[in-house]
Amino acid sequence: MKISQRIANSRPLATTAMHGRVETMRNEGREVIDFSIAISHFPAPPTVLDAVGAAVEQVRTMPYTSVVGALDVRERLCAKLRKENGVEAHADEVIVTNGAKQALYEALYAMSDPGDSVLIFKPHWPAYVATCQLLGLRPILVDLPAEITPEILATCEPARIVIINNPHNPSGKVYTRAELEHIRDWVASTGAQVIVDESYEHLSFDPVHTSLAALCDWRTLGVVTIFSASQSYAMMGWRIGFALAPAPLVGAMQTLQGPITAAASHLSQVATVAAFEAGVQQHMIDEYRERRDMVVRRFAEVPWIVMDSPDSGPYLWGDVRALTHDTVAFAEALIEEEKVAIMPGDALGVPGYIRIGYICDDVATLMEGVRRVIAFGDRFAARK
């Protein structure tokens, strides 16, 4: 059977593949602690559950809406953009999608032609590079600096599209206003278009999150901003997101989305509005902060890992180069010997690092998993 070269040259996402492996092990009755991705142990906000429950009760027929999403849904998302992000937008500049992944795929597809270059800072969310591969685009991977300056940007190879992830997975970096202004000025001078993934907008522990679109004429500059309910509202499995983009681009994304999924499901659209009106889930952030501090404190006692305390997000990013640069083999042996799944930095473009999602399960399971990672690393160090 023929398989398209585009697919044959691509690989399943490393993150979902590792999570799938965990699920298989559990289905076989094998116990495993999963740090490979970040699935919150919190439920969706109560307002979301109420809105969806009421919709099921009241709306007996769930209509197909327009592909971009129902008009009132998009208008309420525009109100969220105005209130939370400081961005004025019209309903025809918003498209509701099945999660940020669909928005990313559609935006990249609609903005590019095969062979175009896409600048991505590494470490990076694996889906950026995987989507480029599927679309025949050329990723240019550049080390994410501690601080973005005009001098650093001037050294980057020019690209057609630049992807910014703010707040950043996995480092937790929250871009400052000044850094975003440097990026704005730089793309204005190079003519690149920008995709800003703000899926973690409400998972910042202290620094204020700023939207690039609030600092520029995003229509003229060609800025697409992507939002997701997965992390900000603990709604990973709901598959909800949306994109803000200049109207012609939303039109192009609609042309692509129509034959694939048509609109997001009607119930999801009800949930989308309720989620993005729910605001910061402070109880969640407070609990994540406690977990972050607990785990970072524990790893600070371990000589073979360097782990900074992240400013945002559900991940810890550990430098284990003192032990090994082959973190794929490290992760493989860890899951075999200790039944703990982590993400090797290789999958995020930087071998020698490991990523730990610390928001799944309860605290006892989290700390048991950390104990096993440390025990494994100590044995690994002793074997060296």
By beta-carbon proximity to ligand PMP, the closer residue of 100 and 192 is 100
- Please tell me the distance from the alpha carbon of residue 118 to that of residue 365, in angstroms, as a whole number: 39
Q: Map residues 187-226 to x or -, x wherever contact with ligand PMP holds by CB under 6 A.
A: ----------x-x---------------------------
Nearest distance from C-beta of residue 384 to ligand PMP, angstroms: 32
Token duo for residue 336 = 């075999």
- Please tell me the distance from the alpha carbon of residue 63 to that of residue 59, in angstroms, as a whole number: 9
By beta-carbon proximity to ligand PMP, the closer residue of 125 and 317 is 125
Nearest distance from C-beta of residue 200 to ligand PMP, angstroms: 7
SS (HEC) of 182-231: HHHHHHHHHCCEEEEECCCCCCECCCCCCCHHHHCCHHHHCEEEEEEHHH
Q: Map residues 159-188 to x or -, x wherever contact with ligand PMP holds by CB under 6 A.
A: ------x---x-------------------
Please, are residues 303 and 372 in contact by the beta-carbon 8 Å criterion?
no
186 φ, ψ (degrees, to nearest 5) = -70, -45
- Please tell me the distance from the alpha carbon of residue 68 to that of residue 93, in angstroms, as a whole number: 9
Nearest distance from C-beta of residue 175 to ligand PMP, angstroms: 13
Nearest distance from C-beta of residue 57 to ligand PMP, angstroms: 27
What letters, b where the CB count within 10 A reaches 16 and e where it falls short, cover 14-31? bbeebbeebeebeeeeee
Binding window for ligand PMP (CB under 6 A); candidates: 48-56, 150-158, 230-238, 349-357: 230-238
Question: CB 41: neighbour CB atoms within 10 A?
Answer: 15
* H or E element in which residue 339 lies: none
Q: Does 36 bind ligand PMP (CB under 6 A)?
A: no
Site for ligand PMP in 239-268 (CB under 6 A): 241
By beta-carbon proximity to ligand PMP, the closer residue of 125 and 205 is 125
User: Helix, strand, coil % (nearest 5) of the chain?
Assistant: 50, 15, 35
- Of 65, 85, 231, 269, which lies in the binding site for ligand PMP, with binding defined by CB under 6 A? 231
Nearest distance from C-beta of residue 27 to ligand PMP, angstroms: 22
Residue nearest ligand PMP, CB atom distance: 99
Nearest distance from C-beta of residue 286 to ligand PMP, angstroms: 21
Token duo for residue 106 = 């559609």
Positions touching ligand PMP (CB under 6 A) are: 99-101, 125, 165, 169, 197, 199, 228, 230-231, 236, 241
